[in-house]
């Protein structure tokens, strides 16, 4: 399954900040076919550093999508039955409009003049694409980590536009610890002189800051156990532990595929995300929700611990929403949503099938 | 209780690396009086960023010592009964010889030409001071975090020189995750152009790198719960969370009181520390041990989780050592060893008293 990323452009997008963004691109990929009733469409939301290339093999480099183990013929998101698509988020750097895009007013990259974006804004842009594709009501919105935030935001903001939401390893709002880890990454980037207040396009990129930021990220994505199993205290050479060289390698790689300003904007969007904001309680946020929910978390995920999923489930139940919750056993930490394919597949496949049957 | 840091100088110190260091200073403070039998001396080992000023009020700034709640008249380490002293570790930057000290061969600061130091080297220097003070056998060696490593190293390296060891919130060897967090701090410092390969003395210090390194550290010292209780999602101003400004403040403060090269050397010493090294198992490392042990850990400490203390306890028990273990309930994470005074005091006081009685 070879897939190429497509771009849709919209003349304007109103943002939560009050600013209206002009000429907004959204990059997306599609897998499978939209049926005649247009009721088999599933939107996948990516995690912080993901992109629209969720499945199949990239047209240029042949690289598999970030959730290729879950999306495809006969897989959890079965492309023989469903029309699956994934967008790069607003503020991103993989085709959708973000701080690295050209500001039509100045003909130069936005940099830090890019407006603040929220998870709500990201979802608003996705909704434009859904309308553009002629889909009135999605079968599902699903995703892990920041993708889970998007699924929850969809259910709250567009209750009539989806039949079910599948938030995996996510939360309705970041804890102080999650904000703190993101802030370390931001400070590492902004401490790099090459960041230059965000004006590094066409110049040297803030590679050292990005590398440190990514190293912190990787530690939080794994678990104490999975790091022990993968690296232990093994030395790579005389005075360097394997875990050190692995993290440095992953950090340096990241610089080539991600934009530092997108790092700043997207992590801020995650930190600001708070479904209780302006509503008092999470239960009240779910007052108008009409979709079904499948909520999944993982035992060893200490970045998005199960209690955050339980908080969502409890609020949904208090509003009599149709919600299934599963905490899956895993040693892989937050990465589990990308790695633990077997049990996730069973859960997702059954949940999607019963939701789809209910719509026929 | 006003205390001034004293310095003892030794002409040479052989290191584990094979190098011999000349003119080695050790900074130390003492509290209470050594008795006539010289059997009431307790050595306190400090954590990574600590120093010799463990108790009382500093002569210059009046600042309380880092364990003042635990050391003093009537406190856990009761200075009415015991002679308590604390040294700044080898490689440090608070009076003891370290990378910021003047190399007598070049008359310039060592910088990165300072030899690699180990926890074993730190303890060897402490042993010189103990001999210098005319103490044949310590009543106890106690400390939290890296201080716990020193207590364990003492028990293994100088089994005849201490009656008991009190390792708190420590480990016999760093996990991959602990190494990884230290490596992030080191990379953040070395990514700062002002670090300049360690040659920044008399010039601009690598303040930005140090600040990021310290921010990561602070997150790991607290718990998810304690961060939630202290900061939650409260905003400090319109677009800044309280936890962000707190971490940035603590990061910037750190630059003024700690040397970046000491950060690199001391974290490496912690990462290399491994009591099983060359001995196969931890139990074998404890083969010659003669001291009693009081091992303490804390429920919410995810940086030095209880399982690491349990590993030490199990190995000691397998060699029929006299060991008491307590996992104390706390929400404060790794910081608990500094904060949870009440229960620690009860445990330490009773354990010291019974050890002291046994020696009379």
pLDDT tens per residue across span A200-214:
999 999 999 999 999
Per-state percent for chain B, helix, strand, coil, to nearest 5: 40, 20, 40
Percent of chain B with pLDDT over 90: 94
Chain B contacts of A230, Cβ < 8 Å? Answer: 176
Choose, from B145, B161, B223, B309, the residue flagged as catalytic. Answer: B145
**DSSP labels for B206-250?**
-HHHHHHHHHHHHHHHS-HHHHHHHTTT-EEETTEEHHHHHHHHH
Q: What chain B residue is nearest to A235 in terms of C-alpha separation?
A: B272
pLDDT value of residue B3: 72
| HSE-CB of A47 using CA atoms within 13 angstroms | 19
Contact A174 B208 (CB under 8 A): no
Nearest to A40 by CA among A160, A135, A114: A135
pLDDT value of residue A172: 98
Considering CB atoms only, which of B174, B184, B247 is closest to A183? B247
- Write down the H helix ranges in chain A: 119-132, 146-157, 176-190, 207-221, 224-230, 242-257, 260-272, 282-285, 306-318, 336-339, 341-359
Contact in structure between B66 and B51 (CB atoms under 8 Å): yes
**What is the Cα–Cα distance from B142 to B150, expressed in whole angstroms?**
8
A interface mutation test: which of B116, B184, B301 has the most A CBs within 10 A?
A: B184
Contact A241 B274 (CB under 8 A): no
C-alpha B97 chain-centroid distance? 16
Ordered by where they begin, the domains of chain B are 2-174+274-359 (3.40.50.1820), 177-270 (1.10.1740.110)
Say if residue A2's pLDDT is above 80.
no
Contact B179 A215 (CB under 8 A): no
Q: pLDDT digits over B290-331, tens only?
A: 999 999 999 999 999 999 999 999 999 999 999 999 999 999
B236 touches chain A (CB under 8 A): no
- pLDDT mean across residues, chain A: 96
B271 touches chain A (CB under 8 A): yes
Residues A52-58 have a mean pLDDT of: 94
pLDDT value of residue B78: 98
Contact in structure between A66 and A54 (CB atoms under 8 Å): yes
pLDDT value of residue B1: 67
pLDDT band at B360 (very low <50, low <70, confident <90, very high): low
Nearest to A123 by CA among A160, A159, A167, A153: A153
Contact B192 A188 (CB under 8 A): no
Looking at the DSSP assignment, which residues form a beta bridge with residue B323?
B293
Contact A219 B302 (CB under 8 A): no
Q: pLDDT digits over B58-76, tens only?
A: 887 889 999 999 999 999 9
Q: pLDDT digits over A230-266, tens only?
A: 999 999 887 899 999 999 999 999 999 999 999 999 9
Q: Helix or strand or coil: residue A163? A: strand
A230 touches chain B (CB under 8 A): yes
Q: What is the token pair recorded at B35?
A: 């008795």
Percent of chain A with pLDDT over 90: 94
- The answer to whether residue A301 is catalytic is yes
pLDDT band at B110 (very low <50, low <70, confident <90, very high): very high
Choose, from A69, A96, A101, A145, the residue flagged as catalytic. Answer: A145
Q: Helix or strand or coil: residue A149? A: helix
A333 touches chain B (CB under 8 A): no
Chain B contacts of A180, Cβ < 8 Å? Answer: 215, 218-219, 227, 243-244, 247
CA distances to A2, A44, A65 from A30, in Å: 11, 10, 12
Contact B191 A188 (CB under 8 A): yes
Nearest to B111 by CA among B197, B234, B207: B197
pLDDT value of residue A359: 73
Q: What chain B residue is nearest to A277 in terms of C-alpha separation?
A: B233
Residues A45-72 have a mean pLDDT of: 94
pLDDT band at A360 (very low <50, low <70, confident <90, very high): low
Instruction: Name residues whose C-beta falls within 8 Å of residue B302's C-beta, 6 or more positions apart in sequence.
Output: A224, A302, B220, B223, B333, B334
Contact A227 B181 (CB under 8 A): no
**What is the Cα–Cα distance from A297 to A300, expressed in whole angstroms?**
9
Say if residue A286's pLDDT is above 70.
yes
Helix (H) or strand (E) holding A258: none
C-alpha B165 chain-centroid distance? 14
């Amino acid at each position: 399954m070879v897939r190429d990323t497509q771009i849709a452009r919209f003349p304007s997008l109103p943002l939560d900040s009050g600013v209206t963004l002009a000429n907004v691109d959204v990059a997306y990929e599609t897998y499978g076919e939209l049926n005649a009733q247009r009721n088999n469409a599933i939107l996948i939301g990516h995690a912080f550093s993901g992109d629209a290339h969720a499945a199949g093999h990239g047209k240029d480099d042949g690289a598999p999508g970030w959730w290729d183990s879950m999306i495809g013929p006969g897989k959890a998101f079965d492309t023989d039955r469903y029309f699956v698509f994934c967008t790069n988020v607003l503020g991103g750097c993989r085709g959708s409009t973000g701080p690295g895009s050209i500001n039509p007013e100045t003909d130069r990259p936005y940099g830090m003049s890019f407006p603040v974006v929220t998870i709500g804004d990201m979802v608003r842009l996705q909704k434009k694409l859904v309308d553009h594709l002629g889909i009135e009501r999605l079968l599902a919105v699903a995703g892990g980590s920041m993708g889970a935030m998007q699924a929850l935001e969809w259910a709250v903001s567009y209750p009539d536009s989806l039949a079910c939401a599948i938030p995996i390893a996510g939360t309705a709002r970041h804890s102080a610890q999650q904000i703190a880890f993101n802030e370390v990454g931001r400070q590492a980037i902004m401490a790099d002189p090459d960041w230059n207040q965000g004006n590094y396009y066409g110049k040297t990129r803030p590679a050292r800051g990005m590398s440190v930021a990514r190293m912190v990220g990787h530690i939080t994505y794994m678990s104490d156990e999975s790091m022990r199993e993968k690296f232990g205290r093994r030395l790579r050479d005389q005075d360097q532990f394997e875990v050190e060289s692995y993290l440095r390698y992953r950090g340096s790689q990241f610089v080539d595929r991600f934009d530092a300003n997108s790092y700043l904007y997207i992590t801020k969007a995650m930190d600001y995300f708070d479904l209780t904001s302006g509503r008092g309680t999470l239960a009240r946020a779910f007052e108008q929700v009409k979709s079904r929910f499948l909520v999944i978390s993982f035992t060893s995920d200490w970045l998005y611990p199960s209690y955050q999923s339980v908080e969502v489930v409890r609020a949904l139940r208090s509003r009599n929403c149709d919600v299934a919750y599963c905490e899956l056993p895993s040693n892989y930490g937050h990465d589990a949503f990308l790695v633990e394919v077997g049990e996730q597949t069973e859960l997702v496949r059954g949940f999607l099938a019963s939701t789809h049957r209910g719509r026929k």
